[in-house]
Structure 1
Amino acid sequence: MRKVRILSLMLAFALLANLISAPSFAAGQDSKRASGFNKELKTVAKKTYKYFTDYTDPDTGLTYDEVRTTDKGTEEAKRTSPTNIAMYMMSTVSAQQMGLISKKEAVSRLQTTIGTLEKLDKWNGLFYNWYNTDDGSLKKDWGQFISQVDNGWLSAGLIVVGQAYPELHGQTSKMVDNMNYTTLYDPEVGQFRGGYDVAKGALTDHHYGMFYTEPRVGSYIAIGKGDVPQEHWWKMYRTMPAEYDWQSQIPQGKVVNYDGVEVFEGSYIYKGKKFVPSWGGSMFEALMPGIVINEKELGAKALGLNNKRHVQLQIEYAKEKGYPAWGFSPSATPTGYSEFAATPLGTSGYKDSSTVTAHATFLALEYAPEAAQKNIKALQKLKMAGKYGFYDSVNVETGELAKAYLALDQGMIMVSIANYLQDGVIRDYFHKDPIGKKPEGLLKKEVFSIQ
């Protein structure tokens, strides 16, 4: 009997050991999968950054706007914008943080770019929208426009570089200080104009009134600099007012008072989920600002929550349409460039046109990593993988590829991967600067009506 009891106890211990070790094995498998995905992302980043090393002018440090493969060969668009410059600078910081290049190379590259930026023609410290990459001269045949959103991104890039490399901080901070955003601000409305046409000597008729779009980066920075008052943050529309019956939905919500300003905290609904819309319903309107602003953590009840909701709803929209992949955002087409979106997520939504773009998936990494991993595989099946990471877009119904690489989209991919693999490193640099830190309270206090 004693022997039977001992055998029974041994069997019980063995079963217990299996029960204890089974979760560890599963955890090990999950860790292995995560490690494999991380390696895959780093490989994508290496290929993506090669675009910047191959197509950035070595003398000026300015990156080509676009490179396209055609039947006739390679077409190189040797022009650049403030946003493209910012994407190159932040991609270089990202590449160094991921161990793809040395600090010495990163600083050398950025010194070249910053040296050029100091010499470029400006208006009230703000940069024109298009320059030639070979000598930094104005691309006058594309107009003489000063864009609020593009300058906002360049300011963000300069702030990140200045915090990442103290030896460059003096130059970068001086340029940011000189970028005078008051010149584009309309104090009567409490919103920014879209920009200023230097040739015409006139501000644009339109304002950047929608809050949940990519110009909010410029708004955040202008507040952080002290160029515009804090109330500007509350003067933008979360949704258009309910009486604006031309919008795609009549929003539901309530009026909330923030810092003495009444804000209509409205929302739309899709697939039973509430959300605050962007203008067009595209991924980069929703998530691009989050590559520098810590919306996910600081705006957990507002912007961060809404970012996650937009990822979920983009995925659900693709399922509803029966598409094999998701990720709708403005991107290259086989013959040019167009705006694409998950239409229901916009105030006046862009069409999806069965077209998805790679950068949308990478922007979503931190909100839905497993879904992003699956979607990357789906994009690879659609033959989007290319020499410089991913081609810019594919029509998921016809399989037609836009065999183009855009500096803007490559940059979003690079920075998104760095933030995912390095615990928000680019955002941390941005918020380390007083300009990035000062408006943090605005992110924390707001509560969207989408709980």
Structure 2
Amino acid sequence: MKKNLSLLAVLSLIFCALMPASSIATPSEKGKKTALSKQLEAISNQTYRYFEDFTDENTGLTYDAVRKDDGEIDPQKHTSPTNIGMYMMSTIAAEESGQLTEEEAVSKIQTTLDTLEEMETWNGLFYNWYNTDDGSLMTDWGEFISTVDNGWLSAGLIVSGQAYPELNKQTSDLVDNMDYSTLYDPEVGQMHGGYDVAEGSLTDHYYGALYTEPRVASYLSIGKGDVPTTHWWKMERTMPEDWDWQSQTPEGYTETYDGIEVFEGHYTYNDQKFVPSWGGSMFEALMPQLVMKEKELGKKALGLNNQRHVDIQIQYAEEQGYEAWGMSPAATPDNYKEFGAAPLGHEGYEADGTVTPHATFLALEYAPMEAFENIQTLKSYDTYGKYGFLDSVNVETGEVTEAYLALDQGMSIVAIANYLHDGVIRDYFHQDDIGKTPEELLEKEEFSIQ
């Protein structure tokens, strides 16, 4: 045996000694990461079957939901702008994973784009509900223009146009025509929730809280130039200290950005500081980072806050005695309901033991090993079916909701693609000037949660 180490071996030992112990993966951790990646690939492929089987082949519009009723499939043949955006991004994700060829993915999205060009709009913005068989407006469900739903359609179009340059002209034209200034109140500096076309009026409420899923619409509206940059600073991190209906009295300080005073407030839970979402759900907190580079660019603000929300969701579920975590709006056996970790919200949603798998996938990039364990637990409740995970399970009662939702299927697939392919969907979004131009907003802010 040689007694002298080679120079390379010595350098390797020194390098390992200098490395923090937490950064050196043990064989078991490496094995788990490999197992997680393989499992995620299989889950993604299985989940995309929903879009293959429940998207109208003539219009390229995906059914909103599918429920099982006495063993029979009951498809809900209507769709929303959010569903359309998630379908396009899920198709790109499926191509990235090798499930589809590029030609197949382009063909599918092209069908959807051709339908979108013929659908009825208001100032280029899309209504809440359309029939999937012909793209006609569902007038019996009202004629509402939703700010947040249009934001997700715009995001899907932007990502598609960057993923496939041959579609860029078509996607860009659709996005350019979507005039978000019509939903913006310059006096308040915030976006209305939407516009009721039949009533001819904007909603009384605004999307005033930054840390909720509509921040995507705000971000890209700024990127388009439809609303001013000041809009970003006019949204609330917490509500003002004297708003005593809040679940906590916020602490923090006032900071000035671009000449606008911003109250950098935070709540505290188990000695961890965070900026709250509205209801404390994973969906509100983490859906925007499917396309926005919050983790990469918002290291002292949104990215850090995302990590805190994941950590606290996991802690909260454990404190409640739940075997699995991941509270977010989801289908229930007879309806659809909002769930969350109450301490994380301005006004927290209730938690009754219902968890939804899409919340686990949204958290992948912040807690991969915890997600790996959670996936195994969720499968033990018999929640995994032909189209991936069913939408929710009550871990207290064991009752599984026999339903799949297009939104939740799409969030899961896109989150998996970002985890497995180095943020590929986010990269496409930020390649476009609309995603790139406002990046400074993510970089410069520092939440009071350090």
Shorter-chain TM-score bucket reads over 0.9
Structure 1 distance, partners of 2:69, 2:342, is 30
Query: Per the alignment, in what secondary structure is the counterpart of residue 163 of structure 1?
Result: helix
Structure 2 distance, partners of 1:300, 1:10, is 47
Matches for 1:137-152 after TM superposition, within 5 Å: 137-152=136-151
* Aligned equivalent of 1:214: 213
Matches for 1:185-196 after TM superposition, within 5 Å: 185-196=184-195
Q: 1:388-414, CA deviations, whole angstroms, 9 ceiling, x for partnerless residues? A: 110000001000011100000000000
Structure 2 distance, partners of 1:330, 1:72, is 24
* Aligned equivalent of 1:3: none
Change (3 A) 1:71 1:119: same
Residue identity in the other structure for 2:157? L
Residue identity in the other structure for 1:225? K
Q: 1:70-91, CA deviations, whole angstroms, 9 ceiling, x for partnerless residues? A: 2151111000000000010000
- By how many angstroms is 1:26 displaced? 7.0
- By how many angstroms is 1:31 displaced? 3.3
Residue identity in the other structure for 2:406? A
Structure 1 distance, partners of 2:287, 2:334, is 25
- By how many angstroms is 1:11 displaced? 13
Q: 1:400-437, CA deviations, whole angstroms, 9 ceiling, x for partnerless residues? A: 01110000000000000000000000000000000000
* Aligned equivalent of 2:33: 34
* Aligned equivalent of 1:433: 432
Q: 1:309-363, CA deviations, whole angstroms, 9 ceiling, x for partnerless residues? A: 0000000000110100000000000001000000110000010121000000000
Residue identity in the other structure for 1:211? L
* Aligned equivalent of 1:116: 115
Structure 2 distance, partners of 1:116, 1:37, is 37
Query: Per the alignment, in what secondary structure is the counterpart of residue 287 of structure 2?
Result: helix
Structure 1 distance, partners of 2:377, 2:235, is 37
- By how many angstroms is 1:10 displaced? 6.7
Structure 2 distance, partners of 1:78, 1:405, is 13
* Aligned equivalent of 1:357: 356
Q: 1:242-291, CA deviations, whole angstroms, 9 ceiling, x for partnerless residues? A: 00001100000000000000000000001110000000000010000000
Determine if the alignment matches structure 1 residue 201 to structure 2 residue 200: yes
Residue identity in the other structure for 2:203? T
Q: 1:114-167, CA deviations, whole angstroms, 9 ceiling, x for partnerless residues? A: 000000000000000000000100011110000000000000000000000000
Residue identity in the other structure for 1:292? V
Query: Per the alignment, in what secondary structure is the counterpart of residue 85 of structure 1?
Result: helix
Structure 2 unaligned spans of 5+ = none
Work out the percentage of aligned pairs sharing the same amino acid.
Answer: 64
Query: Per the alignment, in what secondary structure is the counterpart of residue 306 of structure 1?
Result: helix
* Aligned equivalent of 1:255: 254
Change (3 A) 1:354 1:30: closer
Structure 1 distance, partners of 2:272, 2:312, is 8
| Contact 2:151–2:216 under 8 Å retained in 1 | yes
* Aligned equivalent of 2:449: 450
Structure 1 distance, partners of 2:71, 2:373, is 34
Equivalent pairs, count: 439
Residue identity in the other structure for 1:337? Y
Structure 1 distance, partners of 2:442, 2:137, is 37
* Aligned equivalent of 2:63: 64
Query: Per the alignment, in what secondary structure is the counterpart of residue 265 of structure 1?
Result: strand
- By how many angstroms is 1:28 displaced? 5.0
With normalisation by structure 1, the TM-score equals: 0.95
Change (3 A) 1:249 1:133: same
* Aligned equivalent of 2:272: 273
* Aligned equivalent of 1:4: none
* Aligned equivalent of 1:242: 241
With normalisation by structure 2, the TM-score equals: 0.95
Residue identity in the other structure for 1:435? I
Change (3 A) 1:61 1:344: same
Residue identity in the other structure for 1:264? F
After the TM superposition, which parts of structure 1 deviate over 4 Å for at least 4 consecutive aligned residues?
9-13, 25-29
Change (3 A) 1:10 1:233: closer
CA RMSD in angstroms, aligned pairs only = 1.9
Matches for 1:300-319 after TM superposition, within 5 Å: 300-319=299-318
Structure 2 distance, partners of 1:36, 1:272, is 34
- By how many angstroms is 1:32 displaced? 3.5
Residue identity in the other structure for 1:59? N
